[in-house]
Each structure stands twice: as structure tokens, then as C-alpha cells.
């Protein structure tokens, strides 16, 4: 089969073997695979732990082609499924440790990543799949990570008592994850303060449901004029975005970090007196759970949320698509079509 890989800072397409399914595993014939910013970070080795080469792709839609022993308990041959579950922890988890039982399988010590789905076939643990209704198109593959990550972050507003009518700042609002968060937060009754760079991106955020859409340099004044944000969701993969998200908070606000900046940008710091004066809640939100994926698929099927696809391409065009993502050449998400 053909598959995309990271090699020396670039994307190449190679021939490789299909992995046979083991117990509770299936082989999925991939139809579409989203291009996630975390894939770009791996290709460019922005993170200190990124290997110099390896498979890429972790958000995909396809059809179950072969079953390993026991997998028939979860899916059937011919089922159209979405996989990925955010990449990290999406391939397997034990189900019985303290983190799994508490609903945080990503933290399971036995969790496995989904990586290598930008290929003609992919072998994955069957319980990590969600069967798709016909109303969800193959081009919605980015829901598998971008959509799920945003949905899980927005759900934390309810967990931390940020109710409808509250002001929610979304930093990186027009990006691959942020554009989902704007739609979801607005649909759930929050007043969205979108922060991004460029008139086209701000107009895009308003079209998605943002009440305010401003450049980073105007965000603090806008937030101050409306009493500050009850919550900041930081999808921008920059330390500056983290810092601004914290500054926008009102007292007792909720800070949710999501984007992962390049390692070389250093750390995000908050002084003790800032903690004292704001008394904030600071959490991180990464990927999501299978149940959250089911909920998100239902929302997508009902038209509550959709992927904005700014670029599609074939597997042979993957390298060009990644370079365009690095240059910010399109809004929303990109999808590689392997059909």
C-alpha cells in the first residue's frame, strides 16, 4: 500500500505493507485523512520528542475491510467508521486503570497513539472506532482530531460551571481547531470573543457565530470593555497566545490550554500575585474520548457543527498541502482524499 511519512523535515509517499489485524483489531480502507497541525509539528520536528522520520496522519474516515479475532463484537466488515480520537491514546487503552475508569484514557499508561492513517489502509483497535451515519460526509475526517479536541475543550466549560450567556474567548478562532470551538460554543449559548490575525480570518469567525472578532492587539481592550472573559480557550500554538488568553480572563475565570507550541518557544508562566488577584482555574484539554466522539458525530449529523475544508488534495499532493498549512495559505482544515 501507499502511505505518507515524515522524512527529514518533508513529507514523502512510500510503499509499505498492510499490518495484519490482531485480536480486537480491524483493517480500515481509508477514504479520507485530515491534515492536522500536530502532523505538521512532527514533520518539522517542532517538538523536542519528534523523531526525524516516521508515519503521519491520525484523523481519518474509511470502511472496515478485515476483522481480527474478536473484532466482530464492535464493528462489521463494510461499516463506514471514523478513527483517530485525537491521535494520542486513540489506538488502545486498558479500560481498568484509575485514569480509564475516571474517563481519562489518554493518561492510561498502556495508551497507544494513532499514527500512520495517511495511507491506503490502516490497522486499529476496534473499540476506538465510531460507526458513521450517512449524514456525515467523508470530508468530515478532521472531526477525528480537530473536531474532537475542540469539542472536549468546549465541554469543559460546563464541567467548570461556565454557563450559557458567558463570554468565551477563543484564541486561534479561525484555525483548524478553533473554527470548531466557535461553532460549538455559540451553539451552546455562549457569547464568543474570537481572536485571530487578518481581516479574512476575523470575518470567517463572525460567520461561524462569534459575537466579537478581533486581532490580538485589540483583544485586551475588547475584553475589558465587556468585563473580561469567563473562559479562555487557547487553540493558538504559541506562548504569546497562552499569555494573552490568561490576560483576557475576568476574576475566577477558566483558562483552557489546547494548542501545543514548538518546544523552542519555552514555557508559559503565571506569577503568584496574578494567581492571587484573579483566582483562576487553569486546565489543559487534549483530544477526547470515544463517547465524546459519538456525541460529536451526532452534532455533525444534525448540522450543528461542520468542518470548513479549505484545501483538498491527493496523497501525491500531501507534501504541498503541508507546506501550505505551514504558510497559513487556507482557512479551516485540509483533507487528503485516498478514494
Here the CATH number for the domain that contains residue 228 is 3.40.50.720
- 3-state class (DSSP) for residue 253: strand
Q: Could you please report the per-residue DSSP string of 87-122?
A: STT-SB--S-SHHHHTT-GGG-TT-B-----SBSEE
Segment 253-268 mean pLDDT? 92
The CA-atom distances, in angstroms, between 264 and each of 36, 48, 240, 270 are: 20, 8, 13, 19
Q: How far is CA 34 from the centre of its chain?
A: 10
Grouping H, G, I as helix, E, B as strand and the rest as coil, residue 175 is coil
> Does residue 233 share a domain with residue 306?
no
69 or 54, greater pLDDT: 69
Residue 230 and residue 254 in one domain:
yes
Contact 273, 92 (CB under 8 A): no
pLDDT confidence band for 221 (50 / 70 / 90): very high
**Per-residue pLDDT, 74:** 97
Tell whether 204 and 324 lie within a shared domain. Answer: no
Q: What is the mean pLDDT of residues 326-336?
A: 90
> Residues 85-136: pLDDT tens digits?
877 778 899 999 999 999 899 899 999 889 999 999 999 999 999 999 999 9
The whole-angstrom separation of Cα 233 and Cα 10 is 31
- Same domain? For 309 and 212 the reply is no
How many domains does the chain divide into?
Answer: 2
Say what the pLDDT of residue 168 is. 98
Q: Which domain holds residue 256?
A: 148-284
Q: Is the pLDDT of residue 54 over 90?
A: no
pLDDT at 328: 85
Q: Are residues 204 and 279 in the same domain?
A: yes
Last residue of a domain, one of 245, 267, 284: 284
Count of alpha carbons within 13 angstroms of residue 315, beta-carbon side: 23
Asked whether residue 273 falls in the same domain as residue 182, the answer is: yes
Residues 311 and 218 in one domain: no
Q: In this model, does residue 296 exceed pLDDT 80?
A: yes
The set of residues, in sequence order, having a beta carbon less than 8 Å from that of 337 and lying 6+ positions away, is 31, 32, 138, 312, 313, 314
Domain boundary among 239, 269, 284: 284
Q: How far apart are CA 33 and CA 13, in angstroms?
A: 14
| Among 193, 247, 190, CA closest to 215 | 193
- Tell me which of 251, 267, 284 is where a domain ends: 284
Both 76 and 32 in one domain: the answer is yes
Grid cell of 278 as nine digits: 484573579
Determine the pLDDT at residue 336: 97
Q: In whole numbers, what is the pLDDT of the chain averaged over residues?
A: 94
Residues 169 and 272 both lie in one domain: yes
- Is residue 49 scored above 80 in pLDDT? no
Closest CA to 293 of 115, 144, 93, 139: 144
Is pLDDT at 44 greater than 80 in this prediction? Answer: no
Residues 123 and 46 occupy one common structural domain: yes
Q: How confident is the model at residue 42 (pLDDT cuts 50, 70, 90)?
A: confident
* Whole-number percent of the chain with pLDDT over 70: 99
Q: What angle do CA 38, 155, 168 make, to 5 degrees?
A: 85
pLDDT tens-digit map of 227-248: 999 999 999 989 999 999 999 9
Domain of 32: which CATH number? 3.90.180.10
Instruction: Say if CB 267 and CB 239 are below 8 A apart.
Output: yes
Asked if 7 and 140 sit in the same domain, the reply is: yes
Same domain, residue pair 170 and 116: no
Amino acid at each position: 500500500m501507499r502511505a505518507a511519512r515524515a522524512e527529514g523535515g518533508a513529507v514523502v509517499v512510500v510503499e509499505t505493507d498492510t499490518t495484519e489485524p490482531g485480536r480486537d483489531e480491524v483493517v480500515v480502507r481509508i477514504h479520507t485523512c485530515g491534515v492536522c497541525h500536530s502532523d505538521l509539528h512532527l514533520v518539522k520536528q517542532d517538538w523536542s520528542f519528534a523523531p526525524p522520520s516516521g508515519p503521519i496522519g491520525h484523523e481519518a474516515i474509511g470502511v472496515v475491510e478485515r476483522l481480527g479475532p474478536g473484532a466482530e463484537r464492535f464493528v462489521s466488515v463494510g461499516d463506514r467508521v471514523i478513527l483517530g480520537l485525537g491521535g494520542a491514546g486513540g489506538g488502545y487503552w486498558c479500560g481498568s486503570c484509575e485514569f480509564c475508569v475516571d474517563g481519562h484514557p489518554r493518561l492510561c499508561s498502556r495508551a497507544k497513539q494513532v499514527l500512520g492513517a495517511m495511507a491506503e489502509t490502516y490497522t486499529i483497535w476496534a473499540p476506538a472506532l465510531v460507526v458513521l451515519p450517512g449524514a456525515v460526509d467523508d470530508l468530515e475526517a478532521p472531526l477525528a482530531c480537530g473536531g474532537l479536541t475542540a469539542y472536549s475543550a468546549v465541554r469543559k466549560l460546563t464541567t467548570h460551571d461556565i454557563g450559557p450567556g458567558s463570554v468565551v474567548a477563543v484564541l486561534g478562532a479561525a484555525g483548524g481547531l478553533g473554527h470548531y470551538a466557535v461553532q460549538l460554543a455559540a451553539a451552546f449559548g455562549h457569547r464568543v470573543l474570537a481572536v485571530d490575525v487578518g481581516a479574512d480570518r476575523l470575518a470567517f469567525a463572525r460567520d461561524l457565530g462569534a459575537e466579537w472578532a478581533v486581532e490580538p492587539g485589540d483583544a485586551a481592550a475588547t475584553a475589558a470593555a465587556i468585563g473580561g472573559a469567563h473562559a479562555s480557550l487557547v487553540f493558538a500554538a504559541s506562548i504569546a497566545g497562552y499569555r494573552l488568553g490568561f490576560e483576557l480572563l475576568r476574576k475566577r475565570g477558566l483558562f483552557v490550554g489546547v494548542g501545543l507550541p514548538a518546544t523552542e518557544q519555552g514555557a508559559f508562566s503565571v506569577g503568584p500575585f496574578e494567581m492571587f488577584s484573579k483566582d483562576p482555574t487553569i486546565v489543559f484539554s487534549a483530544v477526547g474520548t470515544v463517547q465524546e466522539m459519538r456525541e460529536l458525530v451526532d452534532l455533525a449529523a444534525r448540522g450543528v457543527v461542520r468542518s470548513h475544508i479549505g484545501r483538498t488534495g491527493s496523497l501525491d499532493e500531501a507534501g504541498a498541502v503541508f507546506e501550505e498549512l505551514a504558510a497559513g495559505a487556507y482557512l479551516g482544515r485540509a483533507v487528503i482524499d485516498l478514494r
